[in-house]
Structure 1
Amino acid sequence: MATSDKSIVVGVDGSEDSVRAAVWAVAEADLHSAPLRLVIVNDDPARADYAEKAVQKAAAKCRSQAPHVDVNTEIVPGHPVEQLLRHSEKAQLVVLGARGHGGFTDALLGGVSAAVATHGACPVVVVRKGVPTTVGPVVVGVDGSECSLAALRFAFEEAAGRGADLVVMQVWHEEGLLAVPLTPVDRERVQREIARSLTELTAALRAEFPKVHTREVAQHGHPVAALTDAGRDAQLLVVGHRGRGGFDGLFLGSVAAGVLHHAPCPIAVIRGTKTQAS
C-alpha cells in the first residue's frame, strides 16, 4: 500500500476487538505516514454519550501507541455497513475487528465485517481476536485472476514496508465434487505447470521490489485450509475477492469467506478495480 494523504479508516464500536483493530491500524498508519480516522456508527441518539466515550477511548489508545500519527474521530448516524462502505470510497484502507460486543450490538459483528471486506471500494483488513504479530512473513494467495493480481501488488507493498518476507501461494485442486482425481503423473505435471506460471506471475514485482525476499509455493489442497495454515505464522494474510455490486451471494464458495472465518492473523481483502464496478 503506497503512502498517501488518504486516511486509514477504522470502524470502532467500543468492543475490545475494535480497539485491537484500531491499535493495529495506527501502526499501519505510522508505517505509511498516513492519517488515521476512527469512525463509530450510532443509529440511536440515546447512545450518544457511549459513542463519544468509546471513540475517544480508542483514540487515546492509538495516540499513546503512535504519537506522531494524526488521529481523528468521527461519529456518524446510519447503518454500519452503509457508512463504512461510504468511507471506503475515500480511504486508502479500512480496518475492522472480527466482531463486536459493545453497546452497538450490530456495529462490527462478523456479518458487517464480512460485508465491508468484500464490498469495500478500497482494501479492507479484518483483525482477528488475539494480539497480531509483527514478525513472520506476509502471505498472499493468488490464482491468476485480476483481483489476485491486485492482492499480489498489495502484498509486495506491505512486505516492503514492513521489511518482511513474502510467501506467494497458489493452492489448487481438482474442480467439482464429481471431478475424476488426477493420476499421479498428471498431478505432477499440473504441479510443475502451476509452479512455473507462479514464478512468471511474480517476476515483474520481484524486479520492482528487489529487497523483498520472496518464496513461491504451488500446493495441491484446499485453498482455505492451506492459506489458514500458512497464516498461523504470518503477520498478514492477503487474498483477492472478485465481489459483486449487490449483497446477493455474499461469500458463497469464496476463499475470502473461509480465511476471514478461520485464519488467525489479520486478513486483507483486495478487490480488483473492474469487479468493484460490477
Structure 2
Amino acid sequence: MTRAKQPIVAGVDGSESSMQAALWAAGEAQLLSAPLLLVLVNNDPIRKPYAEEVVRDIGSRCQEAVTELEISEEVTYGHPAEELVHRSASARLVVVGSRGQGAFRDTLLGSTSAAVATHASSPVVVVPSDSADLPGPVVAGVDGSPGCRPALRFAFEIANRRRSELVALQALPNAYFIPGPYDHPDRDELLAHAKQQLTEQLSPLTASYPEVVVRQVVSNIPPVQALHEAAEHAQLLVVGHRGRGGFTGLLIGSVARGVLHHAPCPVAVVPG
C-alpha cells in the first residue's frame, strides 16, 4: 500500500471524546488527501445494529464537516487496544479520544488510549473531549536522543501543512529536580548544553522546511510541566515515545504518559 493510500484510522465509541477525535482525524485526512477509516470495536453481538448506527452517525458528522473526503466505517470484534494497534501497521496515523464516555465507553477508556499510544507502530494522536480548535503553534518536545528525531520530523511536517509556527522545547531532565547525595552539574553549563543540542537537532529540518517559522525554547522547569505550559494555547503537542539520549529523562514513557493525561490540546506520540 502506498503512503498516499494509507488511511487515517480513528477509533470511535459514541462518546464526545471519540467524536472530537473523529473530527480531528477528518481534518487531518483532508490535509493529507488520505482516506478516513472509522473503527468501532464492539464485543457484544446483540448491540451490533446499534454499533453500526453509532459509527454511521459519526461518519455523517465527519462528512458534513469535510465534504471532499473518502470515509469508510467498520464495526469489528476483539480487544480495543489490540485491534487499533494492529490497524496501526497499515495506517498513516491512528487517532483516539482521551477517554470514552458513551454507550461503548468500555472500548476507549483512558487506559486503552494510553496503550494504543504506547504500542502502535504508526504515530498516534490522542484528542481530549474539551480541547479547543485553536490556531496556535505546534509544540514539539526535544530531548537530544535519536528516538526523538521522528517526532521532530512529524512536528515539522504537520506545522508545514498547517502553515503554523513550530515551538521546539528542550527541557532539563527530570533527574535534575530530584534531591540526591550528588551535586548537579552547573546550571549554566546544563542550559548551554541543552541549547546546543536543540540547535543541532533542528538544523537539518529547518533546512528541509524553510517556510516553517521555528521558535526555540529551553526550559529549566520539569519536563511535563514545561510541555503542559507550552501547550496551553497550542493546536498540537508532539512527543517521542521514549528518550534514549543525553537527556534520557525528558521523553521517557512516564513523561509521555504525564503529557497524555494532562495536556490541554491533542497530543501526538510518535514511535522511534
Q: Structure 2 length as normaliser, TM-score?
A: 0.92
- Alignment pair present for 1:118 and 2:118: yes
Contact 1:129 1:264 in 2 (8 A): no
Contact 1:24 1:132 in 2 (8 A): no
Q: How many angstroms does 1:4 deviate by?
A: 2.2
Q: How many Å separate the matches in 1 of 2:253 and 2:78? A: 30
Aligned with 2:180 (options 167, 178, 181): 178
Q: How many angstroms does 1:242 deviate by?
A: 2.8
Residue number in structure 2 paired with 1:246? none
Over aligned residue pairs, what C-alpha RMSD do you find? 1.9
Residue number in structure 2 paired with 1:106? 106
Q: Counterpart of 1:126 in 2: which secondary structure?
A: strand
Q: How many Å separate the matches in 1 of 2:192 and 2:162? A: 31
Residue number in structure 2 paired with 1:209? 209
Offset from partner CA, 1:237-276 (integer Å, 9 cap, x none)? 0000139xxxxxxx9862110000000000000111xxxx
Amino acid at match of 1:22: A
Q: How many angstroms does 1:221 deviate by?
A: 1.4
Structure-to-structure mapping, 1:51-200, within 5 angstroms: 51-173=51-173, 174=176, 176-178=178-180, 180=182, 182=184, 186-200=186-200
Residue number in structure 2 paired with 1:259? 259
Structure-to-structure mapping, 1:239-258, within 5 angstroms: 239-242=239-242, 254-258=254-258
Task: Pick which of 76-85 and 167-176 moved more.
Answer: 167-176
Contact 1:9 1:39 in 2 (8 A): yes
Residue number in structure 2 paired with 1:45? 45
Residue number in structure 2 paired with 1:14? 14
Residue number in structure 2 paired with 1:247? none
Residue number in structure 2 paired with 1:248? none
Q: How many angstroms does 1:219 deviate by?
A: 1.1
Structure 1 unmatched runs, 5+: 244-250, 273-278
Offset from partner CA, 1:144-199 (integer Å, 9 cap, x none)? 2222111000000010000000010110041654164547xx20121112112211
- Alignment pair present for 1:230 and 2:239: no
Contact 2:242 2:256 in 1 (8 A): no
Q: How many angstroms does 1:132 deviate by?
A: 3.1
Contact 1:5 1:34 in 2 (8 A): yes
Q: How many angstroms does 1:20 deviate by?
A: 0.8
Q: How many Å separate the matches in 2 of 1:210 and 1:92? A: 24
Structure-to-structure mapping, 1:15-30, within 5 angstroms: 15-30=15-30
Q: Counterpart of 1:242 in 2: which secondary structure?
A: coil
Q: Counterpart of 2:157 in 1: which secondary structure?
A: helix
Offset from partner CA, 1:193-217 (integer Å, 9 cap, x none)? 2112211110000000000000111
- Alignment pair present for 1:268 and 2:268: yes
Length, aligned pairs only: 262
Amino acid at match of 2:226: A
Distance 1:12 1:92, change over 3 A: same
Q: How many Å separate the matches in 2 of 1:198 and 1:252? A: 18
Q: How many angstroms does 1:129 deviate by?
A: 2.1
Q: How many Å separate the matches in 1 of 2:128 and 2:106? A: 17
Structure 2 unmatched runs, 5+: 244-250
Which consecutive segments of 4 or more residues in structure 1 shift more than 6 A? none
Q: How many angstroms does 1:49 deviate by?
A: 1.6
Amino acid at match of 1:98: S
Q: Counterpart of 2:261 in 1: which secondary structure?
A: helix
Q: Structure 1 length as normaliser, TM-score?
A: 0.90
